[in-house]
Structure 1
Amino acid sequence: MNGIYHGYRAPQDGAPTLVFANSLGTDLRVWDRVVAELPEGWGILRQDKRGHGLSQDTAAALSIETMTDDVEALLDYYGIGHFTGVGLSVGGLIMQRLALRRAGTMTHLVLSDTAAKIGSPEIWNPRIETVLASGIQAISDAILARWFAPGYDAKEDFSMWRLMLERTPAQGYADVCAAIRDADYTAELKQIQQPTLVLCGSDDCSTPPELVKATADGISNASFVTIADAGHLPCVEQPSHFTTLLRDHVAK
């Protein structure tokens, strides 16, 4: 819909619906292992951000706000009422905005490896320039080292994640980098009222635990948990632990 590739599974018998938002450089498959461990009757909405996966590249300016618009359009298209928002990295920024826009229907919020402000222009601008000039392959080793805990590169599926990253269109990746660079929702954290679970991989070098915890501290009704032996993508490295925490949170 509107150039956004997405997948939806309707809930059964009053089960909860989870709405997922992905990290930079990944597509909706980043949630596969978590979804596989959720009850079959739970509702699931996943989508690829613009310029990622099978979604079309951006047209004009892209921002966290316009990516949130895309999620809202899907919510309206499927008539989704109450739901839990689950956001990873830049997906967490999107879900922070959605928590305020849909305050009456988002019942719970889960933020993983994210913050109200991630990085600075001094970090993002050189990355954007490099990707546009030389492609994502020029920085993929450094990114993958931050994505995973030490030793994960020896696992059989590591090459799949490399390919997912490197096949992301350079312009789409750069546009999302710029959107992250320009976003700062620190002042709005206190407005989030949903029960919020904030997670972070203990070995996350992209959004370190202390940064993620500071975001949790800014939300009045939030709890913070670190997940051992995981980097920036605990939903990939420790899906069972991630899913248990998610299910317990939604049940509250």
Structure 2
Amino acid sequence: MQIADLSALKIHYTDEGDPNGAPIVFANSLGTDLRLWDKLVPLLPAGLRIIRYDKRGHGLTQATPAPYSMGTLIRDVETLLDHLQVKDALFVGLSIGGMIGQGLAVKRPDLVRALVISNSAAKMGTAEMWNTRIANCRENGVGSIAGVTMERWFGKRFRATPELEAWQNMLSRQDLEGYTGCCAAIAGTDFYTPTSGLRLPVLGIAGTEDGSSPPDLVRETIDLVPGSKFEMIRGAGHLPCVEDPEEYARILKDFIKETGHVH
């Protein structure tokens, strides 16, 4: 386990693969940690430098008092990548991770040469919806929303497997400040205008059974960027890299080849 002790935050991250390889950076969804990508990493092509991290208040990264702004979450990963001397990464962001990726690509084009916006959008939900969730979690705990969240996160087939309990436990044990802090960041974010100005290779990935970011919402954001690509994973929900890692890896490997993201 590696901790980057940065001035504003202690960030837990992993740095695997070829240290001299083309960097690929993964950013997780709300309520999960970097284990989100465990099934996918072994399926990636050889020769990549694979960086994963836990965002503020998630996993083993330090939690600070809520609320957070999206700008803060973007600055966290920007500082981490500068610390690791990473440039020209392929950034793969899922859910809130996809929002962080959009913001980072706009702010620091030197850090992001290609972007995967997975199960995410330029704007997700309404401020009222997120504020209601924050209030509910503060009153009843994050665990109180875990059951209904699993229905949005996963397709019917996956929900019938024993593994579901692990993901429900991960969410239930999520730090309250970290979870509600990131909810507040999403509530305050509308990236339609900045994302429409991006001019880099963009791939959108959606799950047909995603109750949090339905395919049409993802596609609407991807279509903002000229020349972008959109792929759908059938039968998967909000976390398709967990439900169908082989198909997710195939789509990602094709994008890596198309963008020439190899050293």
TM-score, length-normalised on structure 1?
0.95
Deviation (angstroms), 1:57: 0.8
Q: Deviations over 1:106-130 (max 9, x none)?
A: 2211110000000002211111001
1:5 pairs with 9, 12, 15, which one?
12
Q: For structure 2, list consecutive stretches of 5 or more residues without a partner in the other structure.
A: 259-263
State the 1:60 CA deviation. 6.2
| Structure 1 spans left out of the alignment, 5+ residues | none
Find out whether 1:154 has 2:168 as its counterpart: no
Which has the higher mean CA deviation after the structures are superposed, 108-117 or 3-12? Answer: 3-12
1:127 match: 133
The CA deviation at 1:25 is 0.4
Report Cα offsets for 1:1-24 as digits up to 9, x if no partner: 231111112535x63211111100
Once superposed, what is the RMSD of the aligned Cα atoms? Answer: 1.4
Distance in 2, matches of 1:235 and 1:51, equals 22
Residue of 72, 75, 97 corresponding to 2:78: 72
After superposition, what is the alpha-carbon deviation per residue over 1:99-157, rounded to whole angstroms, capped at 9, x for unaligned?
Answer: 11221342211110000000002211111001011111211111010000013222121
SS in 2 for 1:4: strand
Q: Counterpart of 1:97 in 2: which secondary structure?
A: helix
Q: 1:55-99: CA deviations, max 9, x gaps?
A: 111246511111111111111111112210100000000000111
Match of 2:215 in 1: 209
Residues 1:137 and 2:143 are matched in the alignment? yes
SS in 2 for 1:5: strand
Aligned-pair distance for 1:221? 2.5
CA distance in 2, matches of 1:174, 1:204: 21
Aligned length in residues: 251
